[in-house]
């Protein structure tokens, strides 16, 4: 009986994954699910959005998070660039 239930649940999982197209196998619930990932993302975002240099010294924890989760750091920087483009577009529409 357990083998039938596990087969049915794996079939439903497979049908859900097959409906996701190119996202098959990617678990979106694992995206930004720990503080190290958020830390790297926010650092990247703030480095781009905030134009002046940081006034603090980087800690070992920060450096580890940026190295271990560099892809989140890079995504944060890209999001910061997009935010600047949105801000520039709003300024252009409002003032010019």
pTM (predicted TM-score): 0.65
What would the pLDDT profile of 12-64 be if each residue is shown by its tens digit? 555 555 566 676 777 777 788 888 888 889 888 988 888 777 777 778 888 88
Q: Which residue segment(s) compose the domain that 13 sits in?
A: 1-26
Q: How far is CA 35 from the centre of its chain?
A: 12
Whether residues 35 and 10 share a domain: the answer is: no
Q: Which is more confidently placed, 55 or 92?
A: 92
Tally of domains in the chain: 2
* Conformational region of residue 3, where left means phi above 0, alpha means psi within -120 to 50, and beta covers everything else: alpha
Residue 56: which residues within 8 A CB-CB, separation 6 or more? none
Whether residues 79 and 39 share a domain: the answer is: yes
């Amino acid at each position: 009986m357990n083998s039938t239930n596990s087969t049915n649940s794996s079939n439903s999982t497979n049908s859900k994954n097959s409906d996701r197209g190119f996202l098959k196998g990617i678990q979106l619930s694992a995206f930004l699910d720990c503080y190290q990932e958020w830390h790297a993302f926010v650092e990247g975002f703030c480095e781009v959005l905030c134009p002046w240099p940081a006034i603090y010294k980087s800690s070992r924890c920060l450096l580890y998070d940026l190295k271990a989760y560099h892809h989140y750091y890079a995504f944060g920087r890209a999001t910061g660039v997009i935010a600047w483009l949105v801000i520039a577009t709003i300024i252009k529409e409002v003032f010019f």
